[in-house]
């Protein structure tokens, strides 16, 4: 009954409005005659409603985007180059979806972060409009000097960017400002893989402790695990990527994640801890014993291999039995092992086992989180993107690149051309033969584009279709490691703060530490040299950095 009264009231009101509108249309004079019921006031004509003018779509903004890539994308080689054809098709659809005009700048992964490329760009201010960066002293100094936008005041206006977690906002923050967007990856992404088939052959148990790990490396290095009768193998493959020890081994060996806490609640940088020195001694021992590729047995020293080369040139060629890296990178080695050309293993019976961590002494299970810092960040140039209007267009582009439709496009391609849906509606990517049959050539056309999304997606923008959860044992192993590793993450207590002194001398301080670590591991300096490096770090600004970091940290604890 109450609803019926409401309906009648609405109908009556509409009738009254229609009646007034009809009267207005019959008026022929410029001024209405006063109505006797309105006390001499005038009733003006009801104006015809004017449709709202739709907000015009902004003109596509031309921007440059600089990314690292395993495959360098070059100019069109010819009209029949199918790979370039699909590359251009992908670029066109990204531009249309995001309303942009993008110039993609590709640099090989191995040199992208070098001083000659990213470092030089930061110093000169000659970076692309949008670039992948590291949150280091050079970047933060450039940001403080006005080279990059503080994105914190803007990102909550965009549905996908809004979902960036508080923890990862903190990781991307600098003393209350957010000069970059964190790129989300599996937060417990790092670990190691080892030749399970070699382990079984030598009757060894799974290496869960550091002592067992060292014993496995000894056997792989000295007891002919491949059975060819030659002394041509070693235990652990390294390359020039310092993240092997800085992001993974240090975690296992008890080193603080950059900034730890003392017993009395103060921040302490890793180089001032006994754990840092002890970890370097443990790693040097592996190198000295030849359990790491140290230039013997006809295999180059690890420093001669470019970042990322250890998997392809050492593990996949059976020169070594273990690799420390991103777990997904190690898994690729397994797929190489069970390829028709190699045939070491099968999908059902993998040669590799994966693990997230090794326990050392009484430090327990420890994993450094692999968020923005591990995956680097996306920054927007304030030198080139000068206005808020332009910034909002760029953020709209970065936001839309995380829509499920865009993620599917850059990872899967096009249904019927690069993938098909199986009976259950899941994506089944075409293999190399099928891509060739379809005229696509290979999947190289899309390499590198997955560096742009930060992989934060609002629920309403979820992927239209996706791949099924893999039942391959190596994939199951990998996913279990991700979940297990999340339980043992080691926080960096100084992640959200940066001292003024670090902006001034941080690049020099970082170089002192990096050089000392590498030289100690390879035996170029001894413990006296390591102590000299620590002293140089302290006197070169490290003491001031520590004081300023503690001031920032304690001031925030009081809020």
* Of 37-46, 140-149, 420-429, highest mean pLDDT: 420-429
pLDDT of res. 28: 32
Question: Predicted confidence band at 559 (pLDDT cuts at 50, 70, 90)?
Answer: low
Cα 75 to Cα 77: distance, rounded to the nearest angstrom? 6
* Of 9-18, 170-179, 381-390, highest mean pLDDT: 381-390
Cα 455 to Cα 408: distance, rounded to the nearest angstrom? 12
What integer best gives the mean pLDDT of the chain? 87
pLDDT of res. 11: 36
Phi, psi of 9 (to 5 degrees): -65, -40
pLDDT of res. 55: 55
Distances (CA, A) of 84 to 353, 405, 406, 453: 37, 22, 19, 22
pLDDT of res. 77: 42
pLDDT of res. 49: 54
Specify the 3-state DSSP secondary structure of 33. Answer: coil
What does the pLDDT look like over 479-522, one tens digit per residue? Answer: 999 999 999 999 999 988 889 999 899 989 999 999 999 999 99
| More reliable by pLDDT, 135 or 298 | 298
pLDDT of res. 46: 45
pLDDT above 90: percentage of residues in the chain: 69
The Cβ-side half-sphere exposure at 397, using a 13 Å CA radius, reads: 27
Question: Predicted confidence band at 85 (pLDDT cuts at 50, 70, 90)?
Answer: confident
| More reliable by pLDDT, 171 or 283 | 283
Give the residue-averaged pLDDT of 35-50. 40
Residue 2 burial class via C-beta count within 10 angstroms: exposed 0-12, middle 13-18, buried 19 and up: exposed
What does the pLDDT look like over 433-453, one tens digit per residue? Answer: 899 899 888 888 898 999 999
Q: What are the structure tokens assigned to 279, written together?
A: 């970890």
Q: Are 508 and 480 in contact (CB under 8 A)?
A: no
pLDDT of res. 316: 95
- 168: pLDDT strictly greater than 80: yes
Question: Predicted confidence band at 117 (pLDDT cuts at 50, 70, 90)?
Answer: confident
pLDDT of res. 154: 98
The Cβ-side half-sphere exposure at 332, using a 13 Å CA radius, reads: 10
Question: Predicted confidence band at 113 (pLDDT cuts at 50, 70, 90)?
Answer: confident
Question: Predicted confidence band at 193 (pLDDT cuts at 50, 70, 90)?
Answer: very high
Cα 497 to Cα 530: distance, rounded to the nearest angstrom? 27
Give the residue-averaged pLDDT of 78-94. 81
* Of 63-67, 305-309, 497-501, highest mean pLDDT: 63-67
- Helix locations, 70-158, DSSP H: 82-98, 109-112, 120-124, 137-144
- 35: pLDDT strictly greater than 80: no
Lowest mean pLDDT among 99-113, 241-255, 260-274: 99-113
Q: Are 118 and 112 in contact (CB under 8 A)?
A: yes
Give me the CATH code for the 61-186+373-460 domain, please: 3.40.190.10
Phi, psi of 420 (to 5 degrees): -135, 165
- The domain locations on the chain are 61-186+373-460, 190-368+511-557
Give me the CATH code for the 190-368+511-557 domain, please: 3.40.190.10
pLDDT of res. 41: 34
Q: Are 368 and 488 in contact (CB under 8 A)?
A: no
- 134: pLDDT strictly greater than 50: yes
- 468: pLDDT strictly greater than 50: yes
Rounded to a whole number, what is the distance in angstroms from the first to the last CA of the chain? Answer: 56
pLDDT of res. 79: 46
- 131: pLDDT strictly greater than 90: yes
Q: Are 165 and 210 in contact (CB under 8 A)?
A: no
pLDDT of res. 3: 40
Residue 156 burial class via C-beta count within 10 angstroms: exposed 0-12, middle 13-18, buried 19 and up: exposed
- 174: pLDDT strictly greater than 90: no
- 27: pLDDT strictly greater than 50: no
pLDDT of res. 544: 98
Lowest mean pLDDT among 29-38, 182-191, 245-254: 29-38
Q: Which of 43, 151, 223, 176 is nearest to 391 (CA)?
A: 151
Q: Are 382 and 145 in contact (CB under 8 A)?
A: no
- 111: pLDDT strictly greater than 90: no
Q: What are the structure tokens assigned to 179, written together?
A: 């000069």
Give the residue-averaged pLDDT of 423-427. 96
| More reliable by pLDDT, 76 or 356 | 356
pLDDT of res. 557: 82
With a CB cutoff of 8 Å and minimum separation 6, the contacts of 480 are none
3-state secondary structure 399-425: HHCCCHHHHHHHHHCCECCCEEECCCC
Q: What are the structure tokens assigned to 148, written together?
A: 């990059």
Cα 69 to Cα 63: distance, rounded to the nearest angstrom? 19
Dihedral angle of Cα 36, 42, 44, 45, to the nearest 10 degrees: 20
The answer to whether 61-186+373-460 and 190-368+511-557 have equal CATH topology is: yes
């Amino acid at each position: 009954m109450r609803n019926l009264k409401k309906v009648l009231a609405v109908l009556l009101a509409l009738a009254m409005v229609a009646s007034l509108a009809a009267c207005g249309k019959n008026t022929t004079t410029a001024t209405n005659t006063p109505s006797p019921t309105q006390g001499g006031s005038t009733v003006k004509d009801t104006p015809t409603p004017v449709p709202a003018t739709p907000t015009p779509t902004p003109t596509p903004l031309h921007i440059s985007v600089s990314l690292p890539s395993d495959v360098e994308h070059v100019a069109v080689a010819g009209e029949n180059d199918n790979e370039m054809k699909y590359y251009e098709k992908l670029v066109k659809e990204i531009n249309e979806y995001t309303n942009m005009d993008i110039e993609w700048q590709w640099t090989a992964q191995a040199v992208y972060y070098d001083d000659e490329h990213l470092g030089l760009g930061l110093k000169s201010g000659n970076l692309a409009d949008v670039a992948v960066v590291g949150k280091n002293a050079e970047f933060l100094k450039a940001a403080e000097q006005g080279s990059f936008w503080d994105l914190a005041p803007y990102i909550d206006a965009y549905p996908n960017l809004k979902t960036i977690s508080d923890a990862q906002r903190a990781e991307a923050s600098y003393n209350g400002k957010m000069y970059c967007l964190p790129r989300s990856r599996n937060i417990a992404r790092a670990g190691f893989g080892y030749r399970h088939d070699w382990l079984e052959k030598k009757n060894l148990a799974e290496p869960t402790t550091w002592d067992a790990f060292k014993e496995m490396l000894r056997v792989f290095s000295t007891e002919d695990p491949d059975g060819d009768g030659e002394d041509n193998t070693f235990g652990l493959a390294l390359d020039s990527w310092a993240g092997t020890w800085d992001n993974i081994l240090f975690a296992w060996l008890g080193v603080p994640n950059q900034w730890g806490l003392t017993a009395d609640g103060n921040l302490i940088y890793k180089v001032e801890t006994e754990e840092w020195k002890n970890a370097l001694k443990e790693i040097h021992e592996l190198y000295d014993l030849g359990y790491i590729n140290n230039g013997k047995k006809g295999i180059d020293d690890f420093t001669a291999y470019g970042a990322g080369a250890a998997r392809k040139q050492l593990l996949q060629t059976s020169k070594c039995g273990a690799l420390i890296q991103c777990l997904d990178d190690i898994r690729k080695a397994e797929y190489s092992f069970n390829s028709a050309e190699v045939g070491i293993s099968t999908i059902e019976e993998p040669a590799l086992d994966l693990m997230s961590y090794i326990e050392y002494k009484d430090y327990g299970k420890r994993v450094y989180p692999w968020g923005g810092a591990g995956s680097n960040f996306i920054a927007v140039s304030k030198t080139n993107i000068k206005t808020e209007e332009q910034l909002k267009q760029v953020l709209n582009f970065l936001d839309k690149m995380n829509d499920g439709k865009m993620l599917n496009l850059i990872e899967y391609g096009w249904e019927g051309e690069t993938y098909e849906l199986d009976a259950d509606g899941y994506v089944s990517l075409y293999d190399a033969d099928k891509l060739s049959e379809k005229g696509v050539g290979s999947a190289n056309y899309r390499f590198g584009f997955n560096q742009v999304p930060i992989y934060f997606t609002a629920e309403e923008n979820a992927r239209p279709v996706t791949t099924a959860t893999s039942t391959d044992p190596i994939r199951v192993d990998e996913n279990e490691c991700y979940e297990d590793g999340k339980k043992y993450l080691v926080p960096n207590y100084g992640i959200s703060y940066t001292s003024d002194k670090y902006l001034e001398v941080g690049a020099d301080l970082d170089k002192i530490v990096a050089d000392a670590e590498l030289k100690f591991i390879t035996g170029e300096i001894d413990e006296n040299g390591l102590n000299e490096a620590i002293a140089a770090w302290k006197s070169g600004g490290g003491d001031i950095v520590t004081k300023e970091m503690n001031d920032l940290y304690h001031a925030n604890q009081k809020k």
